[in-house]
Structure 1
Amino acid sequence: MDEMTRLRELRADAPVPDRAGLAPGRERLTDAIAGNGGRRTLALRPMLRDWRIASLGAVVAVTAAALVLTQVVGTSAPEPSAPATVAGDLDLSSPAVALNRAAVYLERQEVPPEPRADQWIYIREVDGWQEQQWEELPEEVRKKTPMTYSPDQWVPYDDKAAENDESDTDYRTARESYRIAAALPEDPEALLARLREVFPTGSGPDGPPEAEDEHTFRALSVLLESYPIPPDALARIYRAMATVGGVKVTGHLIRDASGREVIAVTRKYDESDSRREILIDPVDYSYAGNRDVVTRTHTIPGDSGAPDTVQKRGDVLIDVARTHAAVVDRKGQKP
């Protein structure tokens, strides 16, 4: 799979062979220092693409070298909240129960019209790691950086130039994602097979191909970050996600980066000591963000003189909360 070209991670020579545990924003900052592109916001596109690419050790090395920062420190996971405090009929006893209940709710919702070609997608996401990295950049580096950090982002719904860019096999424009989701079949097995075709697995310098279930969960994660997705299509996606091997649901609501209580649908990376979490709003079952959480305490050796990094079980490596998403008529407009 191609590396992300503009938004998140860049494969680096890291001491840890797996590609999980990455910290977001790395390529945007390093590319910025190199002077790539015109001025734009760090949060340029609403979809996270290949979040498997770099280990935390690589992030530490690049941060130390390029950003004059010496270490990335994971934050501790928040204490679990009381169960079912937001949605009265919430049942988190299993992925099948939780996701099928969400699907039933979504199937009852009216499907809004597809956005017009001249409209924009507004996304606001809370990402403390990105904000911290931007704040810690030396002033002289910021002045040379053709980007700024902002939690708000706008992307055109109809972006023909991006649609014609085949350099990143994970990236799809908002319109492409909407139509991919709307056309997904009802049968869960067929739906998942289709997503694996749309978002192919890695090969060559980006690492060996993923096992089928890990590939499937990544493909689901990528599509779910797009906006909008028709509610009936989201229902089919949730039903299919419940059938993926290794998928679990946390038996209690967790607090996301914005402090909200959300559902966490999880799957451990096959070759890593961390798990991916897809966050879902327990009221309307919309996509609410994503996390990477350490599953076993371990040490990542430092590179080029950098100190070792200890990742403790429960540390949160990625914590992104989507707080707003809407279709708007122009760039800069907020609902």
Structure 2
Amino acid sequence: MDEMTRLRELRADAPVPDRAGLAPGRERLTDAIAGNGGRRTLALRLRPMLRDWRIASLGAVVAVTAAALVLTQVVGTSAPEHSAPATVAGDLDLSSPAAALNRAADYLERQEVPSEPRPDQWIYLREVDAQQAQQWEELPEEIRKKIPMAYSPERWVPYDDKAAENDESDTDYRTARESYRIAAALPEDPEALLARLREVFPTGSGPDGPPEAEDEHTFRALSVLLESYPIPPDALARIYRAMATVGGVKVTGHLIRDASGREVIAVTRKYDEGDSRREILIDPVDYSYAGNRDVVTRTHTIPGDSGAPDTVQKRGDVLIDVARTHAAVVDRKGQKP
């Protein structure tokens, strides 16, 4: 058995609570996290819940409850009690975004491009988000009863979803098939690639806030696309090369622990407004998308609303912490790889 196979088997047992966006509280929670700068990020986190559970109309009571719960779930950056074994690529270079992302692209360009999934297939996703799991458990029973699906770390998404493709209410949302084809058609030139993504995922629409500056808009568009599965490896290589050119993008000079305990690469960019940064997490072995985090960059106080106590967010606190531990194409809903 070769070393890479042995590493993969070690990772298979990583502990998995997970994610399911508790959709409500969108605007209030976003303003609390990072002023207007974080509004788009929260929209990304809530989208799976809104689309899968159809609970956008639960009402103000759910919004206020969820917002209050999330604001109490800020956690530190210490590793989980049960950490999965570290997995480090032997030739890892974290000296700069260009070094890390171009090396990842070199690896991905050598991989075989699999066939596009069939229209009747499904995408299986399993993600760790202990904060969201705890929020679900703490929601009042009467509110949980209004939600037609129970919280689960696992999701099945249809690859071909005609109804969702025709829904234009969310300018960030794309079905798995749309995202696959958008990624596959991206140009080689980094500047042209990023311009195309800004067209696909526009900025400054309605409740998602005013238009973003170009680099912030670009990084958000990259974040949206990278959450999709699958993305052809050659397309992912082009995306990584382009991401390294975005203004303000950095790479943490060491591997960090994600929500499942794995060691991963963190490609970061601070929000132009607010006191946090967005982190795109990348697996250091196969360079696949591994999740995302929002991390506080400056200790500050958020005034309480309507008599509520102030909230102190400390530098290093993790506001969002999602680890994708498994993704696969399967033949039917409910099937596990």
1:219-253 deviations in Å (ceiling 9; x for gaps): 00000000000000000000000000000000000
Separation in 2 of the partners of 1:272 and 1:57?
28
> Retained in 1: the 8 A contact 2:160–2:177?
yes
- Per mean C-alpha deviation after superposition, the further-off stretch among 153-162 and 21-30 is 21-30
Separation in 1 of the partners of 2:64 and 2:5?
17
Report the 3-state secondary structure (helix = DSSP H, G, I; strand = E; otherwise coil) of the residue aligned with 1:133.
helix
Separation in 1 of the partners of 2:296 and 2:85?
22
Q: TM-score, normalised by structure 2?
A: 0.79
Separation in 2 of the partners of 1:106 and 1:324?
18
- Per mean C-alpha deviation after superposition, the further-off stretch among 117-126 and 49-58 is 49-58
Report the 3-state secondary structure (helix = DSSP H, G, I; strand = E; otherwise coil) of the residue aligned with 2:6.
coil
1:146-196 deviations in Å (ceiling 9; x for gaps): 231101000110101100111110000000000000000000000000000
> Retained in 2: the 8 A contact 1:107–1:231?
yes
Distance change (3 Å), C-alpha of 1:77 and 1:258: closer
Distance change (3 Å), C-alpha of 1:217 and 1:88: same
* Offset at residue 304 of structure 1 (A): 1.2
1:286-312 deviations in Å (ceiling 9; x for gaps): 000000000000000000111110000
Report the 3-state secondary structure (helix = DSSP H, G, I; strand = E; otherwise coil) of the residue aligned with 1:201.
coil
Separation in 2 of the partners of 1:261 and 1:194?
32
> Retained in 2: the 8 A contact 1:99–1:242?
yes
1:282-335 deviations in Å (ceiling 9; x for gaps): 000000000000000000000011111000000000000000000000000010
Distance change (3 Å), C-alpha of 1:222 and 1:278: same
* Offset at residue 51 of structure 1 (A): 18
Report the 3-state secondary structure (helix = DSSP H, G, I; strand = E; otherwise coil) of the residue aligned with 2:51.
coil
- Per mean C-alpha deviation after superposition, the further-off stretch among 272-281 and 77-86 is 77-86
Distance change (3 Å), C-alpha of 1:57 and 1:85: farther
Separation in 2 of the partners of 1:151 and 1:18?
4
Separation in 1 of the partners of 2:215 and 2:5?
25
Distance change (3 Å), C-alpha of 1:54 and 1:91: farther
Separation in 2 of the partners of 1:267 and 1:46?
23
Separation in 1 of the partners of 2:330 and 2:125?
10
* Offset at residue 64 of structure 1 (A): 7.0
Instruction: Identify unmatched segments of 5+ residues in structure 2.
Output: none
Separation in 2 of the partners of 1:255 and 1:140?
36
> Retained in 1: the 8 A contact 2:164–2:175?
yes
> Retained in 1: the 8 A contact 2:302–2:310?
yes
Distance change (3 Å), C-alpha of 1:245 and 1:55: farther
Report the 3-state secondary structure (helix = DSSP H, G, I; strand = E; otherwise coil) of the residue aligned with 2:59.
helix
Separation in 2 of the partners of 1:296 and 1:225?
27
Q: 1:46 aligns with which of 22, 40, 48?
A: 48
Q: 1:120 aligns with which of 117, 122, 127?
A: 122
Distance change (3 Å), C-alpha of 1:31 and 1:76: closer
Please, what is the CA RMSD of the aligned residues?
Answer: 11.0
> Retained in 1: the 8 A contact 2:113–2:232?
yes
> Retained in 1: the 8 A contact 2:127–2:154?
yes
Report the 3-state secondary structure (helix = DSSP H, G, I; strand = E; otherwise coil) of the residue aligned with 1:141.
helix
1:94-152 deviations in Å (ceiling 9; x for gaps): 00000000000000000000000000000001111110011112233323332311010
Distance change (3 Å), C-alpha of 1:72 and 1:107: closer
Separation in 2 of the partners of 1:36 and 1:4?
43
* Offset at residue 2 of structure 1 (A): 48
Report the 3-state secondary structure (helix = DSSP H, G, I; strand = E; otherwise coil) of the residue aligned with 1:165.
coil
> Retained in 2: the 8 A contact 1:14–1:58?
no
Distance change (3 Å), C-alpha of 1:80 and 1:238: farther
Report the 3-state secondary structure (helix = DSSP H, G, I; strand = E; otherwise coil) of the residue aligned with 1:265.
strand
Distance change (3 Å), C-alpha of 1:37 and 1:106: closer
> Retained in 2: the 8 A contact 1:9–1:25?
no
Residue 4, structure 1, aligned to residue 4, structure 2: yes
Q: TM-score, normalised by structure 1?
A: 0.80
> Retained in 2: the 8 A contact 1:262–1:279?
yes
Instruction: Give the share of equivalent positions with the same residue, in percent.
Output: 96
> Retained in 2: the 8 A contact 1:291–1:320?
yes
Separation in 2 of the partners of 1:88 and 1:48?
40
Q: Whose helix fraction is larger, Structure 1's or Structure 2's? A: 2
1:8-33 deviations in Å (ceiling 9; x for gaps): 99999999999999999869999999
Distance change (3 Å), C-alpha of 1:14 and 1:259: closer
1:213 match: 215
Distance change (3 Å), C-alpha of 1:194 and 1:49: farther
Separation in 2 of the partners of 1:128 and 1:181?
30
Separation in 2 of the partners of 1:259 and 1:134?
21
Report the 3-state secondary structure (helix = DSSP H, G, I; strand = E; otherwise coil) of the residue aligned with 1:80.
coil
Instruction: Identify unmatched segments of 5+ residues in structure 1.
Output: none
* Offset at residue 77 of structure 1 (A): 7.5
Separation in 1 of the partners of 2:50 and 2:260?
18
